[in-house]
């Protein structure tokens, strides 16, 4: 495992990540699988989660994230569909899409 500063948060390369995921963000730490550590789009998605954690705090972030997930599951959606419908995930994906499209920044930038 390698821990390094990445802008305003920490990047833990090779750290613990749930099965089937490329990365996970808890507070200001992004844990990413080694093979995905160079994926700038993914890291932008996770950086949005860092922002969300800071803005909402632990309790509100988890309440909104898990609340939305379980609501979608109760409505009959499978895990993947419920995950993709979580508003905080939708926002993170939108940030990653804007980054990938290069909106306002001259195109995707290499990682520092």
pLDDT tens sequence across 50-99: 999 999 999 999 999 999 999 999 999 999 999 999 999 999 999 999 99
Residue 16, SS3 per DSSP:
coil
pLDDT tens sequence across 13-51: 999 999 999 999 999 999 999 999 999 999 999 999 999
C-alpha span between 26 and 76 (Å, rounded): 27
Confidence of residue 108 (pLDDT cuts 50, 70, 90): very low
Report pLDDT for 75: 98
Strand partners, 11: 4, 30
> Who has greater pLDDT, 28 or 106?
28
**pTM (two decimals):** 0.88
CA atoms within 13 A on the CB side of 63: 5
């Amino acid at each position: 495992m390698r821990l390094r500063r990445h802008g305003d948060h920490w990047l833990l390369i090779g750290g613990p990540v749930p099965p089937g995921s490329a990365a996970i963000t808890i507070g200001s730490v992004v844990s990413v699988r080694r093979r995905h550590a160079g994926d700038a789009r993914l890291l932008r998605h996770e950086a949005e989660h860092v922002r969300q954690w800071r803005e909402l705090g632990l309790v509100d972030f988890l309440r909104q994230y898990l609340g939305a997930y379980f609501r979608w599951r109760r409505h009959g959606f499978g895990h993947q569909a419920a995950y993709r419908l979580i508003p905080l995930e939708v926002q993170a994906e939108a940030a990653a899409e804007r980054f990938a499209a290069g909106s306002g920044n001259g195109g995707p930038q290499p990682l520092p």
